[in-house]
Structure 1
Amino acid sequence: MKAELRGNATTSIYLQNLSLFNTQQSSLSGALKGCLGSLDAACIEKLLLHCASALERNDVTLAQQVMWVLNNVASSTGDPNQRLTSWFLKALISRASRLCPTAVNFNGNGIVERRLMSVTELAVYVDLIPWHRFGYCAANSAIYRAIQGYSRVHILDFSITHCMQWPTLIDALAKRPEGPPSLKITVPSCRPPVPPLLNVTSEEIGLRLGNFAKFRDVPFEFIVLDDSPNASESDNPFHFESILSQLSSLDLNLADDEALVINCQNWVRYLCDEPNGVDSRDASLRDIFLDIIKALDPNLVILVDEDVDLCEPSLASRITTCFNYLWIPFDALETFLPKDSCQRLEYESDIGHKIENIIGFEGFQRIERLELGSKLVQRMKNAGFLSLPFGEETVSEVKSLLDEHASGWGMKREEDTLVLTWKGHNSVFATVWVPSNGYVN
């Protein structure tokens, strides 16, 4: 469970002074009562919520006072709660600075800036914890079984980790008893500007995958969808409308012996979940995307994402949910990396980027809009998809993967969904789907 954070004597004095200084702010005094001498996760969460409440009332002075307390608790090289707090503080400072640019001035607690990774560094990054590998393993196993009997496979890949999933699948296809199928992978030309960030282009990634496939004697083709020249950057800086337009007019020209797989790994969250127009009955980009991919009549659709609801318009709700969810990777990294590990700091920096977007921004600038796996499952059913259970071989492969990581990681089944857990808490879910029309069991 969450580690308890013990405050030192200096922090206790800070809290006492602040409580006395704010006797006119009864809510803040109430939040601090019982926290003197120690700050556990519950006390930190209360402070974060009071800071958020002050910012929502445009009370920058009160927000500053709470930030001052948090600033003396936060540490980018402390225990998991301290490290997590440093990123929440940064997000709140970012939000406050837009209300009153000159009123907020705190140090950055040694926070690491994001940078472009090499392909080798990205591979190490993905291997640190099973946050991404869980989805890769479940998806690749399901894909391998779904394409049995096909001599050609076309994968439309929507993911944020630069095709790191595919070398494992290529290797598995090379060992297929009847021989490997020809493999075509199509990716969009743009991706959300979110970590992990890579120092090579999509085209270079395709060349590297092609070289690996050639080495494994797997016929391979890599396609990058071009940007539409009419895409409106002012309305949507990530060109999602352009991608949807291209998909809706895409002529796949599939052969009779060709399977179509649509892979969505941590992608749907970046499609706006709000109605795409002034009428609340208009479909969201998220639903439009699902309608488009259903019309392509795929053999299999993979959906993998983080199992948490961060769509709420309420800042307080997002803070509570985010704080009680994102302690998972901070806590997991604590089990095997030193506090000053560069790998750990960079991984946490990428989580911090997510926190800053969730807490610091609103409207179209807030692109991290995760929804619970159960909600996305219902959205898929509403769009006309039918869920399929994972086979026992897939379950066994995922369990073997988790054996390579810390003992806190586990897996459970929720109907047809596989869920990655950390100390019993849901973190990532994986599902597989087919269009319900014409499906034959």
Structure 2
Amino acid sequence: MDTTLYKPKQSYFFYSNQQENDRVNMNNSSQSQSNHTSTSRSSESSDPSANGKWAARLLRECANAISEKDSSKIHQLLWMLNELASPYGDYDQKLASHFLQALFCKATESGERCYKTLLSVAEKSHSFESSRKVILKFQEVSPWTTFGHVASNGAILEALEGETKLHIIDISNTFCTQWPTLLEALATRNNETPHLRLTVVVTAGMARSVMREISQRMEKFARLMGVPFEFHVVSGLARLAELTEEQLGLREDEAIAVNCIGALRRVNVEERDAVIRMFSSLRPRVLTMVEEEADFTSSMGDFNKCFEECLRFYSLFFEMLDESFVPTSNERLMLERECSRSIVSVLACDGDSDGEGECERRERGSQWCGRLREAFSPVGYSDDVVDDVKALLKRYRSGWSFVPAQGDDSGLYLTWKDEAVAWVSAWKPTP
């Protein structure tokens, strides 16, 4: 495709190069874009933004044009979206901006290069403090992640009840924010406080850079709680499929729990069953798993279908951010930029490749249940754990709820305005 007619605005496509705390530039850019879109009108039609909720319609038309290889229409729609979109604007402007980047990469076959650039920029600006602020603020305004933490911690504590030596293998991208509450629970047990060994498996480059700080803080908190504690990091893995039992340093006198949050979606699709079998071979007392509720695997060969599912899922996420954060929140901007990278990975990168050996191919809870049942059996949540989840959701604004899985599926679904957005479940190896 000839791209000379369409040149994306540098401030939009490469805004991730800006400092996170540059509020002055952000506000100026937002005001400038607002003034521009109010005067940008085609001589043939009215401004699409005047009708409200315009982003999804234009993005869908552009995706259809790309699928049909209609070069003229692609140029027209990309130009129109570029005039209206802004990463600092309202909901529609933001949605258009982040999907526009992915659609432009898809149309120009530049997805792999763009994703690597975005990832490199994010890693260079990454720090423990910035990660901590984003995670804690997100947990403060939304149960999107804490829902999984509470349910998983409850299942782990019940599965390991009465054991004196515990080994939790943590495979997640939560920077250990899940574990302080579990340490507190262990410290307040009526019987003897057990010894806890926490092994964190790290594959994401950004996580590696902050693990030293996290290790020091976890060890300090464990001492404060009076919990005998060991912290170990397994790093240097390009892909989770490379993890071996030997790297985990298993001990015969320890009761094992495997905690897997948002990790299996980053495993190449064809390797997922093997990774699940590897988890089963560890003979854990419990496997806890949390994944976001979207299907980007069954549509891998159908761009339009994949786009529609991607738009559905991220529209919910951006809407939730819009209602939970103030417009000028830096934490919100960082979360949106992370989403933008994921959207590029899903829509504009071939197969599972994203330059790091991982992917963003989410599956729905029902799909994960089908995979897990090959090596595991589901463990239902107790009334106490369900009560803890109910109490958690009461802390947040209205619109959040949860429902149990139906039929042959297992687990709980977190819902935002009656739409399932995350799935949590607990499993034990099949005898």
Relative distance call for 1:113 and 1:89 in structure 2 (3 A) is: farther
For residue 126 of structure 2, the aligned residue among 116, 126, 130 is: 116
Structure 2 counterpart of 1:280: none
Q: Which moved more, 1:346-355 or 1:421-430?
A: 346-355
Unmatched runs of 5 consecutive residues or more in structure 1: 1-7, 19-34, 102-111, 229-237, 274-283
Structure 2 counterpart of 1:184: 197
For residue 256 of structure 2, the aligned residue among 257, 260, 281 is: 260
Relative distance call for 1:118 and 1:252 in structure 2 (3 A) is: closer
For residue 348 of structure 1, the aligned residue among 330, 336, 339 is: 336
Unmatched runs of 5 consecutive residues or more in structure 2: 1-36, 113-120
Structure 1 counterpart of 2:34: none
Identity fraction in percent: 29
Secondary structure of the residue aligned to 2:335 is helix
**What one-letter code is carried by the residue in structure 1 that aligns with 2:218?**
L
Number of positions where the alignment pairs a residue of Structure 1 with one of Structure 2: 376
Bigger helix fraction:
2
Structure 2 counterpart of 1:64: 75
Is 1:424 equivalent to 2:418 in the alignment?
yes
C-alpha displacement of 1:216: 0.6
Relative distance call for 1:356 and 1:84 in structure 2 (3 A) is: same
Structure 2 counterpart of 1:29: none
What is the TM-score with the length of structure 1 in the denominator? 0.78
Relative distance call for 1:251 and 1:407 in structure 2 (3 A) is: same
Instruction: Please list, as runs of the form range in 1=range in 2, the aligned pairs for 1:269-280 lying within 5 A after superposition.
Output: 269-273=265-269
Stretches (4+) displaced over 6 A: none
Is 1:136 equivalent to 2:145 in the alignment?
no
Structure 1 counterpart of 2:245: 247
Mapped to 2, the partners of 1:291 and 1:113 lie a distance apart of 33
Deviations 1:219-268 (A, max 9, x none): 0011122537xxxxxxxxx233422xx2377551221xx31100000000
Mapped to 1, the partners of 2:49 and 2:392 lie a distance apart of 43
Mapped to 1, the partners of 2:128 and 2:235 lie a distance apart of 24
Structure 1 counterpart of 2:347: 359
Please report the RMSD computed on the Cα atoms of aligned residues, expressed in angstroms.
Answer: 2.9
Relative distance call for 1:59 and 1:425 in structure 2 (3 A) is: same
**What one-letter code is carried by the residue in structure 2 that aligns with 1:252?**
L
Mapped to 1, the partners of 2:41 and 2:345 lie a distance apart of 31
Mapped to 2, the partners of 1:219 and 1:200 lie a distance apart of 26
Q: Which moved more, 1:357-366 or 1:319-328?
A: 357-366
Relative distance call for 1:337 and 1:14 in structure 2 (3 A) is: farther
Mapped to 2, the partners of 1:136 and 1:252 lie a distance apart of 24
C-alpha displacement of 1:123: 2.7
| 8 Å Cα contact 1:272/1:286 also seen in 2 | yes
What is the TM-score with the length of structure 2 in the denominator? 0.80
For residue 397 of structure 2, the aligned residue among 406, 410, 434 is: 406
**What one-letter code is carried by the residue in structure 2 that aligns with 1:131?**
W
For residue 377 of structure 1, the aligned residue among 366, 369, 375 is: 369
| 8 Å Cα contact 2:128/2:213 also seen in 1 | no
Secondary structure of the residue aligned to 1:432 is strand
| 8 Å Cα contact 1:310/1:321 also seen in 2 | yes
Mapped to 2, the partners of 1:90 and 1:165 lie a distance apart of 33
Mapped to 1, the partners of 2:44 and 2:179 lie a distance apart of 52
Structure 2 counterpart of 1:90: 101
C-alpha displacement of 1:54: 3.2
Relative distance call for 1:77 and 1:249 in structure 2 (3 A) is: closer
Structure 1 counterpart of 2:9: none
Mapped to 2, the partners of 1:52 and 1:369 lie a distance apart of 19
Secondary structure of the residue aligned to 1:77 is coil
